[in-house]
Chains A and B, each alone.
Chain A
């Protein structure tokens, strides 16, 4: 196994793409999947439930210091940043929003990059601000594999275009190709 986890960043508008990807991953998918999606900060429930309808893997919002397990999908909770901490546990934070975002994709990607080095696949999906670009760069700089959804396929390409400009990404892929890539990681 070359990878430990997959991390996906996007805004609320990428919900359909996210559910499509999650629906394609089998129940026994061996990696953990981290989702950092921009979301309404005051709506605490409903998002996990909505993703669980489509996903075959279990979906949850981690609590602070929860040990990370393979084969699970973890969604960054509302109004917290989500980090991977030493000892392969989650850490949450109420530090200031970055690019108006808490959770911030940049901060999640940076912490995952720092802890997983080359054993991580980072994917940036469609989104309306630049959050994610610096995170994907950090992930790529640490040796991880950087993937960006093809901006031609995105309704709002700000996030994907910023990411492509920020670093030398490994792949620019359409949703179906992203799914194929992830299934091949098994």
Chain B
């Protein structure tokens, strides 16, 4: 068991992973990334940091598990209900009325945002009008979400409370089944989804989206990586497209503000400028 990893060792681990697997974590926010490393280290019973680094270089390292566990998936369904109400009442009906409505959820971790969005579209009767692209750097995550997410019951209680605050038309429990204390979301909600492996921090931007929802991911990047990712997302939006981030986040410190306009300060919703 270790309680902490210093900056020097953190940098060594990041370097080893980058040199061995071509995934670059050097611009992740340090505090939360260290928490993930410590957790992974302790869960996998390494006896020393040197041993850990050696295993990475030797490729005797469960890299898929690492990617899976490094992604922070402790968000909630209908987290920030007021944001989702805004989406339901204003943005989605307006956007979906236009032809070829493409939504992108990049860097997906738990599937909470995806199922939230799908439930909203379903209740609006707009599921068939939207095409959703879901990307993640973890294929394990994609597979898990495709089979309904598999959430623990405690998480569904949180989601249920959030759904009530959101004031949905139905009940969250209508959208999942419970087996052996695990909840499986209704995968028929995902008919309009295209899943792809894509590393938002280093792969080329996609294109043609009218809406990108990217909540509580920028908090895990440092400023320079935030700038890069924000720029990539904006490039993937059509002119006038919508870019939503988390309530505790802001793009005001980033280099992209000349390309977007803040249209909802409380819910952190931005619009790509026309030119």
**B-contacting residues of A (Cβ < 8 Å)?**
42, 44, 61, 63-66, 77, 79-80, 83, 85-86, 91-97, 111, 114
Contact = CB atoms under 8 A, between A and B. Distances in A.
16 contacts: A44-B247, A63-B248, A63-B252, A65-B250, A65-B253, A79-B79, A91-B32, A92-B249, A93-B72, A94-B72, A94-B216, A94-B219, A95-B32, A95-B72, A95-B74, A96-B74
B248 A85 contact: no
A33 to B, nearest CB: 19
A94 B31 CA distance: 12
Nearest to B216: A94
A80 B223 CA distance: 19
A83 B75 CA distance: 18
A64 B31 CA distance: 13
B248 A92 contact: yes
B144 interface: no
A93 B226 contact: no
A64 B74 contact: no
A77 B248 contact: yes
B165 interface: yes
Contacts of A42: 81, 161-162, 165
Nearest to A61: B248
Contacts of B249: 63-64, 92
Given A42-B165, A79-B79, A92-B219, A63 B250 contact: yes
Interface string B217-231: 011100100100000
Contact of A85 (B31, B82, B165): B31
B28 to A, nearest CB: 11
Nearest to B79: A79
A114 B31 CA distance: 10
Given A85-B30, A94-B72, A94-B75, A64 B165 contact: no
Contacts of A94: 72, 74-75, 216, 219, 246
Nearest to B78: A42
Given A44-B80, A44-B82, A85-B29, 18 more contacts: A42-B161, A63-B248, A63-B252, A65-B253, A66-B250, A79-B80, A80-B248, A85-B30, A91-B29, A93-B32, A93-B72, A93-B220, A94-B72, A94-B74, A94-B75, A95-B35, A95-B74, A97-B74
A64 B218 contact: yes
Contacts of A93: 29, 31-32, 72, 219-220
- The 4 A-B pairs with the shortest beta carbon distances in the complex, nearest first, are A96-B74, A92-B248, A83-B31, A63-B250
Given A63-B250, A65-B226, A85-B29, A91 B219 contact: yes
Nearest to A63: B250
Contacts of A85: 29-31
B200 to A, nearest CB: 17
